[in-house]
Chain A
Amino acid sequence: MEANQEQVQDRVKRGRIHEGPRNHIIAFGISIFLTLLAFMAVANSALDATFIKIFIVILAVFQAVIQLAFWMHMKDRGHFFQILFLATGAFVAITAFIMAVYWVWW
């Protein structure tokens, strides 16, 4: 098992395996931290409601970017089409979002 680990480390160094779990665990830590921050902001009734809403949406977008970049490997090379596909989807989603917030009323 130990020899196997060394072989793996060797392959990581030579770039044949792109990374170990370190970045993924950091991404997990950041996600937990951002989530806690959002829950604490909402639990804190002293803050202004509009401020909380904007703040937690920014935290959500940030967390989504972190997870896409690290867990879904978007930060790695050769992900042009991946980014294009998701950005196209996000464009439609954001258009629908703007429509819902500014154009639709009941």
Chain B
Amino acid sequence: MSQAAHLDKLPPEPEKATLEGRNKVLGFWLFLGGETVLFGTLFATFIALRNSVLDGPTGIELFSLSITAIATFILLTSSLTSVFAIQAMHHKNIKNMLTWLGVTVVLGLGFLVLEIYEFYEYVAHDGFGFTTSAFSSSFYALVGFHGAHVALGVLWISLLMLQIKKKGLTTVTAPKIYVASLYWHFIDVVWVFIFTIVYLMGKVG
């Protein structure tokens, strides 16, 4: 079957067309519920320990509002571009879908570069390592865990793009794209709380 004829037969919302696809999305929400618990406990730990700085630097000394603002803007925009990818998928426009997924991956990489630079500055110039204080440990655990999620998301979406190129958009591959987009949005929602509770509150004191 040619690619065009195949796409004509694809239902309007291919991610929800099969029971397997619907179950995949539902199961992924159960996973996101677990992720909420994971990040909730990391946030709680951070909130309990954020003032236990020992002799190490405090949040007010460390954090830069401009870097946090740029990182926030990058991640927020990448969430929107992953929405555009799903919209393109619903329009059965594979080329646009791959383009928007590519933009999402590039923005995710930009966010990671910024975070790695930030951590490097803290460790190399501010003497703020993982074991410096309870504040530093809980900070790196929370923000680092989120960064690891971004890194995994970048890898995941990149691999999905390769798979789409190989297998095309079908009722099997569409739920995977949809679920990856949900994951990416969730990472962005977690970041909303990180920039608020870690960085902005850290600046307030």
Give me the interface of A with B, judged by CB distance under 8 Å. Answer: 4, 8, 11, 16-18, 20-21, 24-25, 28, 31-32, 35, 38-39, 42-43, 49, 52-53, 56-57, 59-60, 63-64, 67-68, 71-72, 81-82, 85-86, 88-90, 92-94, 96-97, 99-101, 104, 106
Docked complex Cα distance between A93 and B43 (Å)? 8
Bound-state CA distance A52–B199 (Å) is: 13
Interface size class of B (residues with CB under 8 A): 35 or more
Task: Give Cα A53–Cα B83 distance, bound, in whole angstroms.
Answer: 31
- The reply to whether A106 and B49 form a contact with Cβ atoms under 8 Å apart is yes
Instruction: Known contacts A64-B193, A86-B29; decide if A38 and B44 are in contact (CB<8 Å).
Output: no
Chain B residues whose CB sits within 8 angstroms of the CB of A35 once the complex forms: 69, 72-73, 76, 192, 195
B182 in contact (CB, < 8 A): yes
Choose one: A17, A43, A57, A71; the contact of B197 (CB below 8 Å). Answer: A57
B159-196 toward A: CB 8 Å interface, digit per residue (1/0)? 00000000000000000000000100110110011011
Neighbour of B185 across the interface among A60, A71, A93, A104, CB < 8 A: A71
Stretch at the interface among B31-39, B122-130, B150-158: B31-39
A100:B44 contact, CB within 8 angstroms? yes
The answer to whether B87 has its CB under 8 Å from any CB of chain A is yes
Give complex CA distance A18, B83 in Å: 13
By the criterion CB–CB under 8 Å, are B12 and A89 in contact?
A: no
Within the complex, the shortest CB–CB distance from A10 to chain B, in Å, comes to 11
Complex Cα distance, B34 from A88, in Å, reads: 9
Check A85 against B44 for contact (C-beta < 8 Å). Answer: no
Contact of A97 among B40, B186, B195, B205 (CB under 8 A): B40
A85 contacts B32, CB within 8 Å? yes
Contact A81 B196 (CB under 8 A): no
| The residue from A17, A20, A63, A101 contacting B13, defined by CB atoms under 8 A apart | A17
Q: In the assembled complex, which residues on chain B have CB atoms less than 8 Å from the CB atom of A88?
A: 33
The residue in chain A whose Cβ has the minimal distance to the Cβ of B76 is: A31
> At the interface, yes or no: B30 with Cβ under 8 Å from chain A?
yes
Residue ID in chain B nearest A31 by CB atoms? B76
With a CB–CB cut-off of 8 A, which chain B residues contact A93? 36-37, 39-41, 43-44
| Max chain B C-beta neighbours (<10 A), residue from A31, A43, A89, A106 | A89
Residues of chain A contacted by B72 (CB below 8 angstroms): 35
Q: Mark B15-45, 1 if CB is under 8 A from A, else 0.
A: 0000000000010011011111101110111
Can you name 8 A-B pairs with beta carbons within 8 Å? A28-B76, A35-B72, A39-B200, A42-B204, A60-B193, A71-B79, A89-B34, A93-B36
> Counting CB contacts under 8 A, is B62 at the interface?
no
Which residues of A sit under 8 angstroms from B36, Cβ to Cβ? 86, 89-90, 92-93
